Amino acid sequence: MVKNSDIAAKPILHVLASYPKSGNTWVRAFLTALRNVEKRSFGEKTSSNSTGSVEINRLAGVSFVDRTMVETRVGLDSADLSQLEIAHLRKEAINQFKEKLTISKDQNRGFLKIHNINAMPIRTGDAVPFLDFENIDGVVYIVRNPLDTCISYANHAGTTIDSAIKDLSSNEQMYTSWATQNYVTEQLSGWSAHVKSWCKNKDFNPLIVRYEDMSKQPTLTFAKLAKFLGFCCSAGEVEQAIQQVSFDKLKQQEQKLGFNESQINTGGFFYKGLVGHWQSVLSTPQFQAIINDHGEVMHELGYLDENHKPTELMCGS
Amino acid sequence: MARFKYSAYGLTIFSEIKLSPLMAEQSTQAPSKKKRDSPSVTIVSGSVPPNGFTDSYTKFSYCHVRPEVVWLKVPNVARFLIEKGQQITFASELGDNNFGLIDHTAKKFNQLDIALFILAQCIPYILMQRGYLVLRASAVAVNGKAVLFAGSTQSGKTTYAAALHNRGFDVISDDISVIDESNRVLPGYPYLKIWANIVRYLRHEISSFTPIRPDVEKYWYPLTEGFCSSPLPLHHVYCVNKNRTNQWQTKKITGIKKTDTLNKQRYRPVVHDTLEQTPLFPKLLQLATQVSVTEVAWPNPLSVVGKKPRIAHQLQYFLDQINVNNALS
């Protein structure tokens, strides 16, 4: 493996964007594992635990949704600021984060986890992008079919599937932690609007990664992801990293040690992780409501055929 | 030219602009010879560098710190220079409109914003420059002693202060608590700034409160009654954190860990350490021998369990603690 710091002498910041419960954490776990594999090949210590899985409470990637974290970077108290002002501070905090990425020992590479729609909060009418994209070196957009997303989202939010379906179709949908209010509110918007905002943006050309491909063709999909992000690794090393982040391993670790990104009142962050879970859970009206809301975008992503019938891609094996 | 005079946190504040209609204005006649030695702060408009200092000891995007000077910028509101514990200079960031005209409504709101940020963010730095211990905490008076609720942004400090005020306890300060050399908590401003959901919890009509800023769902809550205007000895510090689980955890801190826990409650410690001339550790160590410290972690006080906000149970915990302490004292 070629050491990345030999190649990249400048800070590199990639965005990992997704609607919640679409596989963002899985990608971050994989990147953490890949870093560990990379470090081990150079004899450095890693953060993986004794079971060979990555430590889920020390995953690669920051989100700057914690207001205290933003305040610490910019040196300004956010207590009396509006959501729009806080969103601008977050943008500045992210720029500071990139500026301070060190340029040695592979620490020059940062990942930014984003659930925000690619726009500033709609309510304020502010059209300024919420990120300084000239500071971003690439965008990965992780997407999962909304039929499975809404089931996982309902579990995550401690709500019903019908309520989750409404959330996925609402362009006013906001996203904060359900556990605390100490969070920068992210504007989620509806699922279709979210996908379009990231995938149809002319300013950058994102790598679109489908959850279903990560599940059904992991080696191919994760190798493509690693290459896009500039990791110079072998197929064997990708395979090693994939093994470390199997859904069962991550879920077991959450049950044993807890996960500091989970919410209260839920059955755990790592829920089922299945492709095609919708086939046994959603009622026909629920299925139809989601197709009515998101059929066009689902078709574009290959989830529905030209007759708006589900393709193999989003069905379980 | 100082047109307004106020008292807060043991300071006499002379200001060119009105700081708050909720603070009592005093006569601006020249102080008597005796009073000339009392700590005073002057607030004036003037020139403030647009981009801060190039040679700061500590530098964040909007806050640059030298040992005796802090430069602070609130984007689109104003820039501030806070100097030597004595003077705050502000420069508005409000520009003229496209026709080169001044928008008087915008100017009025800008001046209100400037006053708000002077009180909320500049005065704490003045107090740090004067060597006070400044904690991120709200303080309530209980039987002639101060009980503090310390924690980070939106940890629930003001919620507990407001709820206890509603139960008849006097508030000493909100958000920022200042400890003097005799370990007393100094009275802050006679108001709270509370979120809409707290106003609703307290069963008040939201329409009867004024928002602190047009785009912020936070309201001025005057303490016309129930404000403690005298310093009180610090008795107990509750360090409140919101928990990510449904678990409710309280932990009494003892021994040397108390100093460490109190140290973590400091307001902007990095700035403090750049400004501070004398180390704070001995002061914290001495304070730790005299006060009780409890760490409390529980879910968001305004989240609901059953149909009741959790704060009802959490408040009962504090009231029980207060009763226990009263019985022991």
* A145, A295 Cβ separation under 8 angstroms: no
Does A79 contact B175 at a Cβ distance shorter than 8 Å?
Answer: yes
- Chain B environment of A79 (Cβ under 8 Å): 120, 153-154, 175, 193
- B282: which 2 tokens? 């001995």
pLDDT at A5: 46
* A110, A97 Cβ separation under 8 angstroms: yes
pLDDT averaged over every residue in chain B: 87
When CB atoms are compared, the residue of B74, B153, B213 closest to A68 is: B153
* Mean pLDDT within A53-58: 75
**How far apart, in whole angstroms, are the C-alpha atoms of residue A201 and residue A223?**
24
* B205, B116 Cβ separation under 8 angstroms: no
> What confidence category does residue B249 fall into, taking pLDDT thresholds of 50, 70 and 90?
confident
The angle formed by the CA atoms of residues A170, A174 and A179, to the nearest 5 degrees, is 130
pLDDT at A202: 76
| B168: helix, strand or coil | coil
B1-60 residues touching A, CB cutoff 8 A? 60
When CB atoms are compared, the residue of A68, A81, A89 closest to B152 is: A68
Chain A CB within 8 Å of residue B176 CB: no
pLDDT at B120: 97
> What confidence category does residue A42 fall into, taking pLDDT thresholds of 50, 70 and 90?
low
pTM of the full predicted structure? 0.84
Asked if the model's pLDDT at residue B40 lies above 60, the reply is yes
pLDDT at A262: 62
Does B244 contact A179 at a Cβ distance shorter than 8 Å?
Answer: yes
* Of A180-189, B113-122, B145-154, B163-172, the least confident: A180-189
Query: In this predicted complex, what is the ipTM?
Result: 0.89
Q: Which of A63, A267, A280, A258 is nearest to A157 (CA)?
A: A267
* B235, B260 Cβ separation under 8 angstroms: no
Does A80 contact B116 at a Cβ distance shorter than 8 Å?
Answer: yes
pLDDT at A263: 58
Amino acid at B196: A
Higher pLDDT, A109 or B52: B52
Sheet holding B78-83, edge to edge: B4-8, B11-15, B40-45, B87-92, B78-83, B69-74, B63-65, B58-59
* Mean pLDDT within B212-216: 90
> What confidence category does residue A52 fall into, taking pLDDT thresholds of 50, 70 and 90?
low
- Percentage of residues in chain A with pLDDT exceeding 90? 38
pLDDT at B236: 94
pLDDT at A123: 47
Asked if the model's pLDDT at residue B63 lies above 50, the reply is yes
Q: Which of A259, A219, A260 is nearest to A240 (CA)?
A: A219
Does A76 contact B72 at a Cβ distance shorter than 8 Å?
Answer: yes
**How far apart, in whole angstroms, are the C-alpha atoms of residue A8 and residue A38?**
15
Chain A CB within 8 Å of residue B155 CB: yes
Asked if the model's pLDDT at residue B306 lies above 60, the reply is yes
Total length of chain A: 317
Higher pLDDT, A281 or A6: A281
In terms of DSSP bridges, do strands B11-15 and B40-45 run parallel, antiparallel, or are they unpaired? parallel
* Mean pLDDT within A128-155: 89
Output the furthest CA–CA distance in chain A (Å, rounded).
55
pLDDT at B243: 64
> What confidence category does residue A50 fall into, taking pLDDT thresholds of 50, 70 and 90?
very low
Does B153 contact A71 at a Cβ distance shorter than 8 Å?
Answer: yes
Asked if the model's pLDDT at residue A129 lies above 70, the reply is no
Asked if the model's pLDDT at residue B311 lies above 50, the reply is yes
Q: In this predicted model, what pLDDT tens digit does every residue of B82-138 receive, in sequence order?
A: 999 999 999 999 875 556 666 778 888 899 999 999 999 999 999 999 989 999 999
**How far apart, in whole angstroms, are the C-alpha atoms of residue A215 and residue A231?**
21
**How far apart, in whole angstroms, are the C-alpha atoms of residue A51 and residue B295?**
33
- Chain A environment of B61 (Cβ under 8 Å): 73-76, 92-93, 95-96
Higher pLDDT, A98 or A211: A211
> What confidence category does residue B36 fall into, taking pLDDT thresholds of 50, 70 and 90?
very low
Handedness of CA B260, B263, B268, B273 (dihedral sign): negative
pLDDT at A127: 54
- B16: which 2 tokens? 């060119």
Q: In this predicted model, what pLDDT tens digit does every residue of A278-309 receive, in sequence order?
A: 999 999 999 999 999 999 999 999 999 999 99
Asked if the model's pLDDT at residue A226 lies above 50, the reply is yes
pLDDT at B65: 93
How would you classify residue A157: left for phi > 0, otherwise alpha for psi between -120 and 50, otherwise beta? Answer: alpha
* A231, A145 Cβ separation under 8 angstroms: no
* Of A182-196, B138-152, B214-228, the least confident: A182-196
pLDDT at A178: 39
The angle formed by the CA atoms of residues A135, A139 and A143, to the nearest 5 degrees, is 150
pLDDT at A180: 42
pLDDT at A41: 63
- Percentage of residues in chain B with pLDDT exceeding 90? 59
Tell me phi and psi for residue B229, to 5 degrees. Answer: -100, 10
Higher pLDDT, A132 or A24: A24
Q: Where are the beta strands (DSSP E) in B174-223?
A: 176-179, 184-185, 191-195, 211-213, 216-222
pLDDT at B307: 65
* Mean pLDDT within B161-188: 95
Asked if the model's pLDDT at residue A54 lies above 90, the reply is no
The CA distance from A95 to the nearest CA of chain B, in Å, is 10
* Mean pLDDT within B270-283: 80
- Percentage of residues in chain A with pLDDT exceeding 70? 78
**How far apart, in whole angstroms, are the C-alpha atoms of residue B59 and residue B161?**
33
pLDDT at A46: 55
pLDDT at A222: 94
Tell me phi and psi for residue B38, to 5 degrees. Answer: -70, 145
Give the number of other CB atoms < 10 A from CB of residue B199. 20
Report CA-CA distances (Å) from A28 to A46, A242, B324: 15, 11, 48
- Chain A environment of B215 (Cβ under 8 Å): 82-85, 124
E strand or H helix at B6: strand B4-8
**How far apart, in whole angstroms, are the C-alpha atoms of residue A62 and residue A66?**
10
- B166: which 2 tokens? 């509603």
